[in-house]
Structure 1
């Protein structure tokens, strides 16, 4: 498939399936009417249960946000797959025709830091520029204007201009590393990038192994826990710049602005000539992205390749896109013989490289 990418405007859409095996899903052991509900489903079904909502925020922090810092994930198979993915993209851009700009965009709904930490492991090995939208030294601040850059190597005597490959990372649903910046009047003035988990002390003495009714009842029997859980929820929403699993996604209008700027950027890329979008580990459950993909299919030079984890995921994607069948410019990649397309298989099919189960 790698030959299809040359000379094209290349974009990736990466979802939670890429981090599977390292980052837990939003599934829970909370049962209602004989069905285990996801975090989003609990917050919808039990929307009037304030104490349960606050407890779920604690669970969401401990299982999803805290894990996303990857403090205990150093040399995992998932990390190696991310490294291999990025390394192959850099090598590809080096092989590109000099007349084609050396730029690839990655849009992801994942909160975790796999891309950032995998890139760190490649620095010094290749000459490239990784752009996550932030700029600064001691304090790094996020801004959309930081994405629109080209970087050149000019040599010691400025006697040539050689374009440096750029990977742009757009974290559409936010990141565990993004924090709101407040001024002295407690008004939000920006979004900073901070890779330290400073909220851990708030939650370390209320631990949730599972989210089931017995454990919930036990924790909520203590009145002090009820008060602390409310403070934890407020603190998490005031500090972390994320789309939380609740209908009121945007309590902070600044992040809402960034969210729609990211979507506009994706829309702009999909409208360009000779564009390719490759989706992996993504279910298209985000209704705004799904609608955008449908509209973009009017671009006759656009090609969208959707890698489905299982054969029946094809129907899930159709359902989320509200389509009866795929248009001509959407090509689903289906696993053979009731198999699956995991990260290793994705890399193999995309870059035509062999990849074993250990990610080597």
Structure 2
């Protein structure tokens, strides 16, 4: 598996293939060349990390800092809830929520749980989740999101339209925002994110095994895969991406 990792946190682009940092005079050109090469591979997947949306949405550390300030200043939260938050270490909200949910399950499993402590845990969990949801779900039509949305659209314009003999593109993302869906909708590119149904959308992972095809002969049962098709996998709160190689091999890019 070949990985490309673009990291612009320090104002520089770092280009990796596997675990090896490739030393090139122009990392951006090297990445473009590598992406062009692997775009013609039969099976290719992309993993989009938090850095891809960081121009419009805070990264996890920035979000942690803002939510921490809000908790300290929020007059609607109980003092015991604030005290509970001060006891938690680290600056990763996912890990913080993991600790809080562990404490919640522990209290629910005890014979006589402390009601005040239980209420504090639930209040803190709900507050953090509500704040995260609010900060992630920004106005995708707003000025702040325009540049980031443009980058998503450029990516899909390059990779989504593939020869019918090649497998459709797989996009894996740990992001909870809707930039992928918005970009694909704007470009009129079909995508399968595992949800089906009409008025009520229902998640069914079996849908990722479906092949979307079009009929090419009105008189015969003859079909061919849609050319503009993307399989979108949203990995919620996962820290690792595991790619299983099949007989033809899998090529992957890690962006962000």
Please tell me the TM-score bracket, short chain as reference.
0.5 to 0.7
**Secondary structure of the corresponding residue to residue 199 of structure 2:** coil
Aligned residues: 181
Residues 185-334 of structure 1: pairs in structure 2 closer than 5 A: 243=237, 267-268=243-244, 270-281=245-256
CA distance in 2 between partners of 1:119 and 1:99 (Å): 22
**Secondary structure of the corresponding residue to residue 154 of structure 2:** helix
Aligned to 2:134: 66
**Secondary structure of the corresponding residue to residue 91 of structure 2:** strand
**Secondary structure of the corresponding residue to residue 177 of structure 2:** coil
Select the structure with the greater relative contact order (CA < 8 A; seq sep ≥ 6): 2
- Cα offset for 1:156? 6.7
Q: Any conservation in 1 of the 2:153–2:184 contact (CA below 8 Å)?
A: yes
TM-score for both structures, normalised by structure 1: 0.43
Q: Any conservation in 1 of the 2:140–2:149 contact (CA below 8 Å)?
A: no
- Cα offset for 1:119? 1.1
* CA offset digits 1:284-316 (Å, max 9, x no partner): xxxxxxxxxxxxxxxxxxxxxxxxxxxxxxxxx
Aligned to 1:39: 93
Q: Any conservation in 2 of the 1:129–1:151 contact (CA below 8 Å)?
A: no
Q: Any conservation in 2 of the 1:16–1:109 contact (CA below 8 Å)?
A: yes
Residues 1:140 and 1:37: Cα distance change in structure 2 (over 3 Å): closer
Residues 1:41 and 1:10: Cα distance change in structure 2 (over 3 Å): closer
**1:18 equivalenced with 2:52 (yes/no):** yes
Q: Any conservation in 1 of the 2:45–2:172 contact (CA below 8 Å)?
A: yes
Aligned to 2:6: none
Aligned to 1:4: 38
**1:78 equivalenced with 2:112 (yes/no):** no
**Secondary structure of the corresponding residue to residue 146 of structure 1:** helix
Structure 2 residue ranges without an equivalent (≥5): 1-33, 70-85, 104-116
- Cα offset for 1:277? 1.0
CA distance in 2 between partners of 1:79 and 1:143 (Å): 27
Deviates more, 1:154-163 or 1:270-279: 154-163
Structure 1 residue ranges without an equivalent (≥5): 174-242, 244-258, 282-360
Aligned to 1:352: none
CA distance in 1 between partners of 2:98 and 2:180 (Å): 31
Residues 1:155 and 1:72: Cα distance change in structure 2 (over 3 Å): closer
